[in-house]
Structure 1
Amino acid sequence: MRLSVPHALAPACVGLALIATACTNEEVGSSPEDHEPQPSAGAEPFEPVLAPRLLSEMDLDDKIGQLLVLTAQGTSAADNAAQIEAHRPGGLIYFDANLEGAEQIAAMSAGVQDLAAEQGRGVPLFLGIDQEQGLVARLPVGTGFPDAMAVGATRDTELAELRAATTAEELTALGVNLNYAPVADVNTDPNNPVIGVRSFGSDPDLVARMAVAEAGAYSANGVVPVAKHFPGHGDTDVDSHSGLPVIDMPRDRWEAEHLPPFKAAIDAGVDAIMTAHVLMPQLVGGEDPEPATLSPEIIDGILREELGYDGVVTTDALNMEGVRQRHSDGEVAVRALEAGVDQLLMPPDPAAAVSAIRGAVEEGRLTEERIDESVLRVLALKEKRGVLEAEPVDVEGAAAVLEDPAHAEAAQRVADASATLVRNEGGLLPLAEGDGVRVRGVGAEEIAAALTEAGMNVVDGAAGEADAVVVGTEGGSGASEQSALVASARAEGLLVVVVSQGTPYDLAAFPEAEAFLALYSSVDVSRAAAARVVAGLVKPSGKLPVDVPAADVEAGTGLTT
């Protein structure tokens, strides 16, 4: 496995000849007049050569196209020919429906890049994906790592780097050069419906360390990382896919709890940042604030001027309801650019977005110089990460990269280190080798198979044959059937081991269980890790990366055996 895994993120900020320096160490909240932005200590200056030349040769249609990242169509390059010809986009984003197998994905990537080379100025595409790992993973092939919260439980930045570097090698083999990861949100609301295990935890410093480690590993291995979702999606109780979350939080609390990971990523020179479709009225003031994605006060004001960030800023998906409630799709595109955004991700009507942007330029609402700023950032990042002069994808060799046994070993290593034993009354775990174990609930089949492989006596018969019951849960605090499984086992007089595969907040839902093991993920390697802990093959070493208020348990809790 040929991976470059740095111990700290040190790529350059996107330093542009025509734009200000990318990064700064100035304190949040200070006036931009008080401090000129300075390069961060870990960043090496990058001066693009090809990007300014390309920009000077572009017409307005070419420029507007570079601002668009469109949803890929179908499963072949031919399925995307029409939209590439019509809009000359800066990138495409892949979803499950586009992805079938390694050779197909690699061939599609190679094909759409060929099509892009034939249009306009022939600028190669950013080919992006949401391959966060765990809950949000689009690839149907390759290595399945645990979710970010599991990585947070390890407290080990080298494991964060390993997860990102391995993922990056697989994406590169498929021709994917940008990943909408890592998640830099701090999950402070246990009822958050959209972040949860996608976050590294509830401690802003822990999240900062892990996010910076992963971003550095992605960029060092040929994939552009995108830290998301600024200014923070971790304290929401509404999913911005279906509504507009409102976070009525004082600025000082936001600075303390949700800004640190983004500040750390900016100081380290992160390539790109994604905005959040969240409303934070106390950050912007005024009587009629816009969602962060459309807010000049948050993007140009806080992110650009106060934090000194001059890298690429992308919207979250523009087909989400959190950003479509007040304006037409074309108007949303214009307002995002007015706010300081560079790339428009998944505009639901690309033609409307292009028309609205062109109209705004013709009317003087947006200047072409403003468009040039964003296009230059995009082109400079493509140059910096080798996209403009990338080697062709090895279509036939892609599958072999994804099937590297070292990748599976890396995923299991992360999962084993993340398993967190929160409760172990009477020293129940590990179970004795001859104990009869019944397995029920979420992931029962996979956990039972892993227990058998670990040498345990898995039974599925009458009550008298079992000594203990392993109950798999996921979101158990709201699932009565999972509680019923635990109650049924206790009624039979059996010892209960709860294996939680979602957020650990359901700890309070199972007070009668003798043992509670948190995995933070339902991927195969996490379930295997649970079996290895139950069987005594692995000593649990994970620590809770979040507080569990309902159970009065603090982050950092973790037992061993």
Structure 2
Amino acid sequence: MKLKLSIGLTVGIVGALGIWTGSVAAQERFTDLKYSQWAADSIEYMADRGTVSGYGNGLFGPSDAVTRAQAIAFLVRELQPQAQTGASPSFTDVSPAHPFYDVISVASQSGLARGFTDGTFRPDEPISRAETAAFLTRAYELTNGTQPVRLSDIEGSWASDPIRTMSTNGLIGGYSDGTYRPDQTVTRAEFAVFLARVIHYERNAAIETQDWDKLMSYMTVSEEVGQMLMPKFQQWNGKSTTAMNAGLQETLNDQHPGGFILFENNIIDAKQVATFTHDLQTRAGDIPLFLGTDQEGGVIKRLPGGTNLPGQMALGAVDDADLARAAGQLTGEEMQALGLQLNFAPSLDVNSNPDNPIIGIRSFGSDPDLVSRLGLATMQGLQQSGVIAAVKHFPGHGDTSVDSHLGLPVLNDDRARLDAVELKPFRAAIDAGVDMIMTAHIALPAVDDEHAVSRKDGSSVPIPATLSKKVLTGLLREELGFQGVIISDAFTMQGIAEHFGEEDAVVRAVSAGVDIILTPKDSAAAHETLVKAVKNGTISEDRIQESVRRILELKFKYGLFDQGNDDFPARLSSLPTVIGSAAHRQIEREIAERAATTLAGPIESIRQGDHVVIAAADEDTGKQLEKQLAVASASQHLTTEVAVIGQAKTTQAMDKADYVILASYQFRNVASQFGWAAFQDIIDRLNAKQKRYSLLSLGNPYELLYLQHAKSALAVYGKQEPNLAAGLNVLLGKLTPQGVLPVQVK
């Protein structure tokens, strides 16, 4: 692993590390750093840690000498912040009246503070560069490194050994003339940089050895809490965020987030996304970011120009685990090329409720065994490509009729039903080694019947799974045995936001067992709330560190700490060979073509020279189909016309047609409340006039629950280009439908 710590040995005085990016914040906190910009980032870093402080009134005194007592105070604050004053120090010149008596006492007991042969400590004497090297080498138990020593004036110094140790580890630099000047006094700014260097050296050493406890010992509560936040950053100053900007940099500096999620307005094209994610990781410091998105395929797709997979229910209609695995793997390969290592997919929701307004075709189907089989294969494909699969939405969002983006669904099934249906795919994923599980903002009374007072209207509302310790710790961790990372669904969704204030919700979620809060409404406020909760004892730091340890382990497992070693220019130039490659497009076509499913039949075919009317609920859908039909039927001399259902001229157009494609797209609404009456009227009229037609289901395939007497009906499970092409080729007689309906339609 390449350390992110790199210090030249001939930097003037001590030089700036260039790792930390808090100099603006440092200037806001301290007003006297104008001539100490080389140290501003380190001063801010150490001040954030509570190790160094100013004199008040915005003054830090960067050019003031550091006394031996002050240096010891810095080290005690850093290494022994909880230590209690013990026996009196034996130094003859340190009395109880000395302002640093307590810290010198602690340091003397632990061996950090050593005096002179005459029994004095000389607390008020300025510390030299030699003494600084000795103090730090002893305090951190440093051993010799491998870098060459190019300091011409350290031989003969009493501190030559610790200076050499610091130098061989790249922790100190000399002057341009090759000297170190061991007897020169160290300023407060210089000491802050020396100490910050050692801390980051120790952090990187902990990362290399996967010593997460050691790494966390060098992390502040603010940093630890930050790892548990994954905000979005869709806009800054009214513009879409598609590159690094001041707002993002401020978030990185102040909140230390564990990652970010990308949405459509963060994305322009493949090159832009790859550059953006590279820049984010470069600015992240020594702990890399989770960079994720929702790339389920089908209706939920974010990646630009990538393979346009037909969606999970299309895979359910094919029921081929190898094909599902290939879909997962190609998705992962394209995400990796773009610098994204976390996919919020697959959905393991068993869509047993036709009225489900949010899952539907995002599910593999209504059979828990089918969902388990294909969900695991997709998950494994993602993992094989080096992408983390965050399966969702635990404990299962398939049997609801409320969209948790808009309200709080309640899953009233008993425990036996939960085990047999909703929990079955998650249990299988856990047994197969899933790394991350996303929670659902749904209530589960069979597991947790606790209620809370709604912030919205004062009513009593059930506790959603995301905030329930019984669900997340009791059921998911203790009963099902999940040891990976638990991430919440978005905190901007009304299932949480409507009934619980964000401050209350983030504390409840972490207390319940959530490791990462996804898209808090106000990430700065969420961060501050959790820091306060730790400091006031509402949440223990041990509980925070449980989550941080899981997060760090997962980042290491998937090679995120090694990302600085990749050849970014080469990756950028290879994008066209990965994103939407011919091999990936072939898998896309195979899924779509094998998924096409006869709902009612036999399927009526379009004939040579037909006048085809495409009737759809909106003109855009009709135009999409018309465009695809022109490509698919180039040699069949068809004429086409788009008609919008509900318009007066639509009936006349269909009466003149040789063939009618009646396109239905029901998604993101309750199926039973869809406008089926207009579709039924059209079917009845086409039957009466003995027209050739097909009902083409582009969304949730539940049409025949509500429509009668359809003679020809075909489901393609989405209106992406490959789904449309496959469906139209069936209607043209070029393909035979092979799919099996993966949901029950009774």
Give the alignment's TM-score, normalised by structure 1.
0.84
CA distance in 2, matches of 1:429, 1:135: 27
**Residues 1:331 and 2:504 are matched in the alignment:** yes
SS of 1:208's equivalent in the other structure is helix
SS of 1:395's equivalent in the other structure is helix
Query: Displacement of 1:259 after TM fit?
Result: 0.6
| Higher radius of gyration, 1 or 2 | 2
Query: Displacement of 1:143 after TM fit?
Result: 1.5
What is the aligned counterpart of 1:60 among 190, 200, 221? 221
Which ranges of structure 2 fall in alignment gaps of 5 or more residues?
1-207, 235-240, 453-461, 642-652
**Residues 1:268 and 2:448 are matched in the alignment:** no
**Residues 1:99 and 2:267 are matched in the alignment:** yes
SS of 2:561's equivalent in the other structure is coil
Query: Displacement of 1:509 after TM fit?
Result: 3.5
- 1:69-106 Cα distance to aligned partner (Å, 9 max, x none): 01034110225212111111000000111111111111
Change (3 A) 1:465 1:64: same
SS of 1:123's equivalent in the other structure is coil
CA distance in 1, matches of 2:654, 2:302: 41
Residues 116-515 of structure 1: pairs in structure 2 closer than 5 A: 116-117=284-285, 122-286=286-450, 289-390=462-563, 391=566, 393=568, 394-424=571-601, 427-433=602-608, 436-441=611-616, 443-452=621-630, 453-454=632-633, 455-460=635-640, 466-475=657-666, 478-479=674-675, 480-515=677-712
- 1:30-78 Cα distance to aligned partner (Å, 9 max, x none): xxxxxxxxxxxxxxxxx98254443333221111111010103411022
Query: Displacement of 1:470 after TM fit?
Result: 1.5
- Identify the range of structure 1 (407-416 vs 491-500) with the bigger mean alpha-carbon deviation: 491-500
Equivalent pair of 1:240/1:320 in contact (CA under 8 Å): yes
Residues 43-82 of structure 1: pairs in structure 2 closer than 5 A: 49=210, 51-73=212-234, 74-78=241-245, 79-82=247-250
CA distance in 2, matches of 1:428, 1:71: 46
CA distance in 2, matches of 1:387, 1:136: 25
**Counterpart amino acid of residue 349 in structure 1:** D
SS of 1:532's equivalent in the other structure is helix
**Counterpart amino acid of residue 412 in structure 1:** R
CA distance in 2, matches of 1:460, 1:128: 42
SS of 2:728's equivalent in the other structure is helix
| Count of matched residue pairs | 497
**Counterpart amino acid of residue 662 in structure 2:** V
Query: Displacement of 1:135 after TM fit?
Result: 1.2
Query: Displacement of 1:141 after TM fit?
Result: 2.3
Change (3 A) 1:463 1:347: closer
What is the aligned counterpart of 2:743 among 542, 546, 552? 546
- 1:515-549 Cα distance to aligned partner (Å, 9 max, x none): 11011111110010011112222221100100012
CA distance in 1, matches of 2:262, 2:589: 26
Equivalent pair of 1:419/1:517 in contact (CA under 8 Å): yes
CA distance in 1, matches of 2:738, 2:432: 29
Equivalent pair of 1:436/1:457 in contact (CA under 8 Å): no
CA distance in 2, matches of 1:157, 1:109: 32
Which ranges of structure 1 fall in alignment gaps of 5 or more residues?
1-46, 550-561
Higher relative contact order (CA 8 A, sep 6+): 1
Equivalent pair of 2:450/2:463 in contact (CA under 8 Å): no
CA distance in 2, matches of 1:457, 1:444: 19
CA distance in 2, matches of 1:124, 1:281: 38
CA distance in 2, matches of 1:392, 1:228: 33
SS of 2:281's equivalent in the other structure is helix
- 1:436-478 Cα distance to aligned partner (Å, 9 max, x none): 5433226333334444424444333776874321211112862
Equivalent pair of 1:134/1:148 in contact (CA under 8 Å): yes
State, as a whole percentage, how many aligned pairs show the same letter: 39
Equivalent pair of 1:110/1:392 in contact (CA under 8 Å): no
Equivalent pair of 1:440/1:485 in contact (CA under 8 Å): no
CA distance in 2, matches of 1:161, 1:512: 38
- Identify the range of structure 1 (284-293 vs 454-463) with the bigger mean alpha-carbon deviation: 454-463
Equivalent pair of 1:473/1:501 in contact (CA under 8 Å): yes
Query: Displacement of 1:172 after TM fit?
Result: 1.0
CA distance in 2, matches of 1:489, 1:173: 50
